[in-house]
Structure 1
Amino acid sequence: MKKIINTKVVVIGSGPAGYSAAFRCSDLGLNTVLIERYENLGGVCLNVGCIPSKTLLHVAKIYKDNEYFYNKGIFFNKPKINFKILRNWKKNIIKKINFGLNNMAKNRNVKIVYGKGSFINKNSILVMNNKKKIKINFKYCIIAIGSKSINLPFNVSGIWNSTDALKLKKIPKSLLIIGGGVVGLEMATLYSSFGSMVDVIDNSKYLLPMVDKDMVFMFRNIIKKQFNIFNCTNILSIKKNNLGYLVNIENNKKIKQDKIYENIIVSVGRYPETSSLKIKNIGIILNKNGFIKVNKKMRTNVDNIYAIGDIVGVPMLAHKAMHQAHIAAEVIYGKDHYFDPKVIPSIAYTNPEIAWVGMNEKDAKNNNINFEVALFPWKASGRAIATCTSCGMTKLIFDKDTNKIIGGSVIGKNSGELLSEISLAIEMGCDAEDISLTIHAHPTLYETIGLTADIFTGTITDLLNEKAK
């Protein structure tokens, strides 16, 4: 027997994109149903991604800081971690946010339907929940089902993906991470902090190719004491034995090597998984990479169907998805809004963090921009020195013809928090003087942004002023 629900808007998926879309629709007075295939709201980000990983990385950072002060003789007790309590700590944080989302859905009168949805036609979805069938008729639909981890072609049991890794079942003595992207580097940071000997292998030529090479070079120099990174390296085979995993690797010089690892984490990217939706039933067009094609209003080629978040392509970031969610909801309501940001910030929550936004030097060259770079080393920052984080750098890129800021990147403690001023400056079209003449609190880390602008304007006094010469 089918249960039938009629609604104005149905949202498929309750990750940051999905719940943001559903809540915004409700706030605009639109009757909304939210479909979620798993038992908890929040999607990958909350349940097995952003929130648990940042929780564990925060603890790892505190642990390493305590270990540092112990080795300096300032602390007298060497820190130890109770992993059972840590796992429960992580679960309770997720539960707390889960509860908050459920509460907001209830207070907004957003109806939640649990189960797996698939299109019947452009105005109906069938949701399967165990043996129950629920038919939802709608006027508008927002697809926000996210993405899935890419698996390796090797048929070997027991290999972890990022979800498995965040369960923190054990801390292996030796660990191989396949994939040197942001997630792979974060997992390397986490497990190396907790005592694993970690190797990161990636087949690409450069680490973090979207970041300027000088910043990546500095980043690699800092983290080389934590774990090893091997670029231009391929996995030829993986075999499981009584010691763990025998991995045959080959570098760019065609030198092959066998190495044994207790565990392996695969982090080679994510892909859009649309087959379960049966989108062919309604003729939605995908691009060559399998992402749903949308316009700047987040509308698909089917006029009443919208798509947001990971399912529409890179960058696969929660903050991008949440902004797209607002656009889709507001367009459905009748507003003439569209998604067209100048920049989208990115952060690797490693130790130290590395964050970037806007154009890098390569982008500026490709766009024939007459640009200039300003760099401020954190070894000249009082706050960085006082907090033992002087291994850092703030970098800003300016258009010399207009003096406007067009990009920036930061390496160091909490660099992701510093990125906000740079992002806003680019969106607002600020020039170097706007930043330089804004009084920044001292001593702070965000002060380095103002000082970097001072370098460009030739007014720096915290370093030797090369332009004064």
Structure 2
Amino acid sequence: MAKGRKVEVVRGVGRFLDPHHLEVSLCSGTGLELTGEKQVIRFKQCVIAAGSQPVTLPFMPDDPRIVDSTGALELKTVPKRMLVVGGGIIGLEMATVYSALGARIDVVERLDGLMQGPDRDLVKVWEQYNHPRFDRVMVNTRTVSAEASEQGIRVTFDGEQAPAEPQCYDLVLVAVGRKPNGDRIGADKAGVHVDERGFIRVDKQMRSTVPHIFAIGDIVGQPMLAHKAVHEGHVAAEVAAGEALNNPELACSHFDALQIPGVAYTNPEVAWAGLTQLEAKAQGIKVEVAVFPWAASGRAIANGRDEGLTKLVFDADTRRVIGGGIVGTGAGDLISEVCLAIEMGADALDIGKTLHPHPTLGETVGMAAEVALGSCTDLPARRR
């Protein structure tokens, strides 16, 4: 795509020299090995998209049997017993893969539950379906030490559900989060402010503290998701081009998404958009919630996967949809209708009266809206 748009690509490690110059330590070919050569690039405007890196645990030994999310994708062998440190999305996605290949899985999470993003009723469905995958799920528990031996990695735990003795694993995946790379690019020399955690603060037009330097993606804050970064990149590019071309329409672009969807690509998938029920409650928003269980979906039953559910969250005053969540096969694809409904300010009537194809999983979104309206004929009638 870059080549087709006549973009010059320079491979290497870049650091700012000043507000208009970047020094790049060049890499050889398509590899990551530095050649020792350097190139200075002068720019009028710049977009920082330097991303993030996995958080490491200082007590973990340097051993090939201890991996981060990148290392987990470089499968050498299938471990018999695997520990996932961190019960977030990345850890549980990898746990799903390795479990499907035959590994027995333990998960340790310092918080009081797995997969903290979506509402608990969605996660509960996922937990019930995946219960056979895990030997141990240790919440409110920390990993405190690890030791490498010929037999494996011996890990010691502390907390509410910690086993009394250290446990031995063939593979340990550390998935305790990611940290931004703001402090690795010499941003201070360009005058760009980087906070104590490594994030670059930006405005709605993705400008940093230096007006001609923009920043997008993981490096500007949560959520660290590729689809958020792409939209931020569009805004930064349009604003930069609008300035250069003196185009008022492009120069007025800004990032104002009402929702940023999240998806756990597990089995089943869990997806959510907008405000969760818990977030709405925390913000003091009175809501109405409508749930359609997939046990009443003909397509889900035919697929042999009727464990899921579709949930919509409505503002009780305006009746507009402000959030939603889906757990089930293909939830990451199905959530897009909820995203659009939130952005367009749709209410229960808009969604419920929209014709959905039958039999599909997508129609569960329409049926959830019918539940909110009290007109769903695919579930037992409400008592009056």
TM-score of the alignment, normalized to the shorter chain, above 0.5: yes
- Offset at residue 289 of structure 1 (A): 2.2
CA contact (8 A) 1:208 1:216 kept: yes
Q: Which residue of 2 aligns with 1:122?
A: 19
> The residue matched to 2:304 in structure 1 has which SS?
coil
1:93 paired residue number: none
How far apart in 2 are the matches of 1:128 and 1:250?
Answer: 43
Q: Which residue of 1 aligns with 2:231?
A: 323
Superposed CA deviations along residues 234-268 of structure 1, whole A, max 9, x for unmatched, are 11211111210111112226763321111111111
Which whole-Å CA distance do the structure 2 matches of 1:175 and 1:255 have between them? 15
Partner secondary structure for residue 153 of structure 1: coil
Question: What amino acid is the match of 2:37?
Answer: K
- CA distances 1:411-446 after superposition (whole Å, capped 9, x unpaired): 000001110000000000000000000011000001
1:410 corresponds to: 326
**Secondary structure, in 3 states, of the residue corresponding to 1:189?**
helix
Question: Aligned in 2, Cα 1:348/1:338: closer, same or farther, shift over 3 Å?
Answer: same
Counterpart Cα distance in 2 of 1:160 and 1:287 = 28
Tell me the residue number matched to 2:74: 167
- For the pair 1:222 / 2:138, whether they are aligned, the reply is no
Alignment of 1:194-233 (within 5 A): 194-227=101-134, 228-233=136-141
After superposition, what is the alpha-carbon deviation per residue over 1:6-29, rounded to whole angstroms, capped at 9, x for unaligned? xxxxxxxxxxxxxxxxxxxxxxxx
Superposed CA offset, 1:202-244 (max 9, x none) = 1111222222122222221111112242211111211111210
2:20/2:42 contact within 8 Å kept: yes
Does the CA-based 8 Å contact 2:299-2:359 persist in structure 1?
yes
Match for residue 177 of structure 2 among 263, 266, 269: 269
The whole-number CA distance in structure 2 between the counterparts of 1:400 and 1:155 is: 49
- The code of the aligned residue for 1:206 comes to G
CA distance in 1, matches of 2:347, 2:133: 38
**Correspondence 1:141 to 2:46:** yes
Give 1:407 deviation, angstroms: 0.7
- How far off its partner does 1:160 sit? 0.9
Deviation of residue 155 (structure 1)? 4.1
- Cα 1:181–1:155 change in 2 (3 A) is closer
Give how far 1:105 is off: 1.5
CA contact (8 A) 1:117 1:276 kept: no
Q: Name 2:361's counterpart in structure 1.
A: 445
In structure 2, list runs of 5 or more residues that go unmatched.
27-34, 243-250
Question: TM-score scaled to structure 2, two decimals?
Answer: 0.92
1:46-70 Cα deviation digits (max 9, x unpaired): xxxxxxxxxxxxxxxxxxxxxxxxx
- Once residues 254 and 439 of structure 1 are traced to their aligned partners in structure 2, the CA distance between those partners, rounded to angstroms, is 51
Cross-structure match for 2:248: none
**Superposition CA RMSD, Å:** 1.3
Query: Residue type matched to 1:149 in 2?
Result: P
| In 1: Cα distance, 2:180 partner to 2:254 partner | 23
1:396 aligns with 2:316: no
Cα distance in 1 between the residues matched to 2:148 and 2:116: 32
Q: Is the 8 A contact 2:93 2:266 kept in 1?
A: yes
Q: Deviations over 1:84-128 (max 9, x none)?
A: xxxxxxxxxxxxxxxxxxxx2222110011111111110111111
Please list every run of 5 or more consecutive structure 1 residues that lacks an aligned counterpart in the other structure: 1-103
Kept in 2, the 8 Å contact 1:455–1:465? The answer is no
d(CA) in 1 for partners of 2:240 and 2:146? 50
Residue in 1 aligned with 2:274? Answer: 358
Asked if the contact 1:374–1:456 (Cα under 8 Å) also holds between the matched residues in 2, the reply is: yes
Q: Shift of the alpha carbon at 1:454? A: 0.6
- Is the CA contact 1:201–1:231 (under 8 Å) kept in the aligned structure 2? yes
Looking at structure 2, the residues matched to 359 and 257 of structure 1 have their Cα atoms a distance apart, in angstroms, of: 41
Q: How does 1:42-441 map to 2 (within 5 A)?
A: 104-129=1-26, 130-156=35-61, 157-158=63-64, 159-227=66-134, 228-252=136-160, 256-334=164-242, 335-441=251-357
- Are 2:129 and 2:307, in contact at CA under 8 Å, matched by a contact in 1? yes
SS in 2 for 1:257: coil
Q: Are the structure 2 counterparts of residues 135 and 366 from structure 1 closer, same or farther at C-alpha, using a change threshold of 3 Å?
A: same
Corresponding letter in the other structure for 1:284: V
Distance in 1 between residues matched to 2:233 and 2:271, nearest whole Å: 24
Whole-angstrom CA distance in 1 between matches of 2:364 and 2:270: 15
Please give the secondary structure, in 2, of the residue aligned with 1:171. Answer: coil
Q: Which structure dedicates a bigger proportion of its chain to helix?
A: 1
- Secondary structure at 1:290 match in 2: coil
> Would the aligned equivalents of 1:403 and 1:431 in 2 still touch at CA under 8 Å?
yes
Q: Distance in 1 between matches of 2:162 and 2:363?
A: 47
Measured after TM superposition, the shift of residue 175 of structure 1 is 0.3
Write the deviation string for residues 284-314 of structure 1: whole angstroms up to 9, x where unpaired.
1123422001111000001111100011111
Closer, same or farther: CA 172–301 of 1 in aligned 2, 3 Å: same
How many residue pairs end up in the alignment?
365
Q: What secondary structure does 1:131 align onto?
A: strand
Question: % of aligned pairs identical?
Answer: 44
Quick check: 2:60–2:145 contact (8 Å CA) kept in 1?
A: no
Question: Residues 241 and 255 from structure 1, CA distance in 2 versus in 1: closer, same or farther, beyond 3 angstroms?
Answer: closer
Q: Deviations over 1:138-183 (max 9, x none)?
A: 1001100110011111141221111111011110000001011100
The one-character-per-residue Cα deviations of 1:172-201 (angstroms, maximum 9, x if unpaired) are 000001011100000000000000001111
What are the Cα deviations for residues 335-391 of structure 1, in whole angstroms up to 9, with x where unaligned? 211111000000000000000111111221122222111111101100001011101
Q: Structure 1 length normalisation: TM-score?
A: 0.76
1:208 alignment partner, SS class: coil
For the 8 Å contact 1:373–1:395, the answer to whether it is kept is: yes
